[in-house]
Amino acid sequence: MSKSILTSAFKAVSEAEGWEFLKEFNPPDNKGFMFCEPTPELTRINSAIFKHYDGHSGSTYGWTMRCMELIAKNGWEAFKTQMS
């Protein structure tokens, strides 16, 4: 299930051209991705994410976005190392 969620999110961020945004964006510590103020970039990414996978709960959405943030900021290899 996680692989499916992450694969669809990766495609969605790519489709929304959101990698540079995620590389620079830092959601507020007390809100994270789930409760931060929407930006045009986040709205575009979210639309693509929910188009590809509509089964997110608040928890899976937050986890997925943190994973995409790690990929954007640290690269794929670092993400794979952290996840294993």
List, for residues 10-34, the tens digit of each pLDDT value: 999 999 999 999 999 999 988 999 8
55-75 pLDDT per residue, tens? 777 778 889 999 999 999 999
How far apart are the C-alpha atoms of 69 and 74, rounded to whole Å? 8
- pTM for the model stands at 0.89
Closest CA to 33 of 4, 74, 12, 61: 61
Task: Supply the pLDDT for residue 22.
Answer: 98
Question: What sign for the dihedral angle of Cα 55, 57, 60, 66?
Answer: positive
Give the CA angle between residues 59, 16, 56 to the nearest 5°.
Answer: 20
